[in-house]
Amino acid sequence: MKSIIHFFKGQTRGAKAKRQVLYSIFIQGLNIIIGLLYVPLLLDYLTQEKYGIWLTLTSILGWFSFFDIGMGNGLRNKLAEAMAHKDLKLGKKLVSTTYAFLFVIFGVVLIAFHISNFFLDWNSILNTHTIDKQELFLLTSVVFTFFIIRFVVQIIAVIYLADQIPSFTKLINTSANFISFIVVLILTKITTNGNLVLIGTIISVVPVALFIVASFISFGTKYKNIRPSIKSIDFKLSKDIVTLGAKFFFLQAAFIVLFTTSNIFITQFYGPEEVTVYNIAYKYFQIPIMVFSIFMSPVWSAVTDAYAKADFVWLKNTLKYANLLAILFVFGVIVMTIISNWAYNIWIGDKVSIPLELTIAFSIYSIIRIIITPYSNFINGMGKLKITVISTIIEIVVYLVLVFLFGKIFDNSTGIVLAIVGTGVSVWYLQIIQVHKLLNRTAKGIWSR
């Protein structure tokens, strides 16, 4: 017992990471369970088509995260560097400037959306004629408003990430999902009409409320020294944050194009019902990725701290252990593929049928994501994003070509998944090469930028 306690004691980078992994395993485990329970609950209450519409709508709204222009991740790295050098005055300026910058940007975006929403035909966009136009207008107005507000209030989560405490973010998200799930569960017992507007409101409002509460508590206690203030706003610093953030922006762009447009393409190619099929398989194979991310979650900011202090021994050892862990998770994905039919049947029964080829495609995707995750975290933590930014542009072009090519070959969403897989394989190997060059201090030119 003493050896176990000693394993997690201390304030070193490694000890903090171990504690965060332990906390996150418990928190994220609950989140995964809640997410799995959500699917049959919403399917029963909303019907397969309405659930598909909800998934597609949230994917479309994800496009508006473009307006973040990577400020959150830019702040994460810059604040982690400031904390590594114990420069709290700079940290306060970084936090204050980021809040001000995002408040202005998303305030303009919110006004522009509500004006344009009067002219958008959501029935055509979502390829449905079974839901009233006014209901979709109200749904999009409410969900988008809180979606935008969340981008500003969740900066507190970025601060915890920079401080190598990723379990906080998972705690807020899990708490929001749990509260939303309980409210939705009660709703399904007292109503029977599948009210999509009410569901959207509940799921959108709860996390925003929790982030606001967490912000007031954190800035009044743990982070009072970097609490945002008008006097500390320094837009000269925004250049540094935006310069780094712009690189993260392109990475976010690739993710958004790949995963938010997939639901849109599926809706247009095969109808909203197929979006439900796609997302059930996606959620199933997202489980090992999410669990693996628990172990990787402290790595990003820890790498920033280690790289700032030139601790290459720690960096190399951490990458070695991360790769060994990735191999174990790959075997786990293979087992999940073998038992997938049994797992689907227990999870959702006979409500939705998942084609074997879609399962295999997602299995391949999951394996690739797990293998590349340690390298992505190292690249992000070091902030050496030039190659990744360039490859992101290539990714988007390749994806758009493959999605139309494979989308015509298959009669279900398997083609969309294979397009994502093909896109990743075409560029992700560059990150592996770059990380090894950086750790061996042989990176030159574009490899070091």
Burial label, 109 (beta-carbon count in 10 A; 0-12, 13-18, 19+): middle
Alpha-carbon distance of 103 to 152, in angstroms, equals 6
DSSP code for 339:
T
Tokens 């394989």 — which residue? 425
Alpha-carbon distance of 122 to 53, in angstroms, equals 10
Q: Which residues neighbour 276 within 8 Å (Cβ) at sequence distance 6 or greater?
A: 43, 48, 51, 52, 55, 352
Alpha-carbon distance of 373 to 116, in angstroms, equals 38
Nearest to 435 by CA among 358, 381, 363: 381
Q: What is the mean pLDDT of residues 388-415?
A: 81
Radius of gyration of the chain (CA): 22
Burial label, 186 (beta-carbon count in 10 A; 0-12, 13-18, 19+): exposed
Q: What confidence tier does 75 reach under pLDDT thresholds 50, 70, 90?
A: confident
Q: Is the pLDDT of residue 4 over 70?
A: no
Q: Is the pLDDT of residue 161 over 80?
A: yes
Residue 377 tokens, joined: 């975290």
Query: How high is the pLDDT of residue 416?
Result: 87
Alpha-carbon distance of 124 to 128, in angstroms, equals 7
Tens digits of per-residue pLDDT, 367-385? 999 999 999 889 888 888 7
Q: Which residues neighbour 95 within 8 Å (Cβ) at sequence distance 6 or greater?
A: 75, 79, 155, 159, 226, 227, 228, 232
Greatest CA separation for the chain? 65
First vs last Cα of the chain: how many Å apart? 45
Residue 360 tokens, joined: 């295999």
User: Which 3 state secondary structure label does DSSP give 69?
Assistant: coil
Packed helices 272-296 and 414-427: angle between N→C axes, nearest 10 degrees: 40
Query: How high is the pLDDT of residue 259?
Result: 61
Alpha-carbon distance of 258 to 45, in angstroms, equals 29
Q: Is the pLDDT of residue 406 over 90?
A: no
- The total of other beta-carbon atoms located within 10 Å of residue 129's CB is 9
H-state helical runs in 63-119? 71-84, 88-116
Q: What confidence tier does 7 reach under pLDDT thresholds 50, 70, 90?
A: very low
Tens digits of per-residue pLDDT, 184-230? 888 888 876 777 888 888 888 888 999 999 999 999 999 999 999 98
Q: What does pLDDT average to over the chain?
A: 82
- The total of other beta-carbon atoms located within 10 Å of residue 104's CB is 10
Helix H, strand E, coil C: the string for 17-52 is: HHHHHHHHHHHHHHHHHHHHHHHHHHHHHHHHHHHH
Alpha-carbon distance of 222 to 34, in angstroms, equals 29
Q: What is the mean pLDDT of residues 421-441?
A: 83
With a pLDDT cut of 70, the percent of the chain lying above it is 88
Q: What confidence tier does 22 reach under pLDDT thresholds 50, 70, 90?
A: confident
Query: How high is the pLDDT of residue 3?
Result: 39
DSSP code for 193:
S
Alpha-carbon distance of 299 to 314, in angstroms, equals 11
Alpha-carbon distance of 99 to 156, in angstroms, equals 10
Tens digits of per-residue pLDDT, 251-262? 666 666 666 678
Q: What is the mean pLDDT of residues 272-287?
A: 87
DSSP code for 352:
S
Q: What is the mean pLDDT of residues 258-283?
A: 81
Query: How high is the pLDDT of residue 245?
Result: 61
Tokens 């574009």 — which residue? 446
Alpha-carbon distance of 207 to 147, in angstroms, equals 10
Tokens 């992000």 — which residue? 380
Tens digits of per-residue pLDDT, 111-136? 998 998 888 888 887 777 777 788 88
Query: How high is the pLDDT of residue 143?
Result: 85
CB 443 within 8 A of CB 437: yes
Alpha-carbon distance of 402 to 418, in angstroms, equals 8
User: Which 3 state secondary structure label does DSSP give 127?
Assistant: coil
Query: How high is the pLDDT of residue 319?
Result: 93
Given CA atoms 169, 171, 176, 180 in this order, what sign does their dihedral have? positive
What is 200-231 written as a DSSP string? Answer: HHHHHHHHHHHHHHHHHHHHHTTTGGG---GG
Q: Is the pLDDT of residue 15 over 70?
A: no
Q: Which residues neighbour 211 within 8 Å (Cβ) at sequence distance 6 or greater?
A: 150, 153, 154, 156, 157, 172
Please state whether the predicted TM-score (pTM) of the whole model is above 0.85.
no
CB 177 within 8 A of CB 31: yes
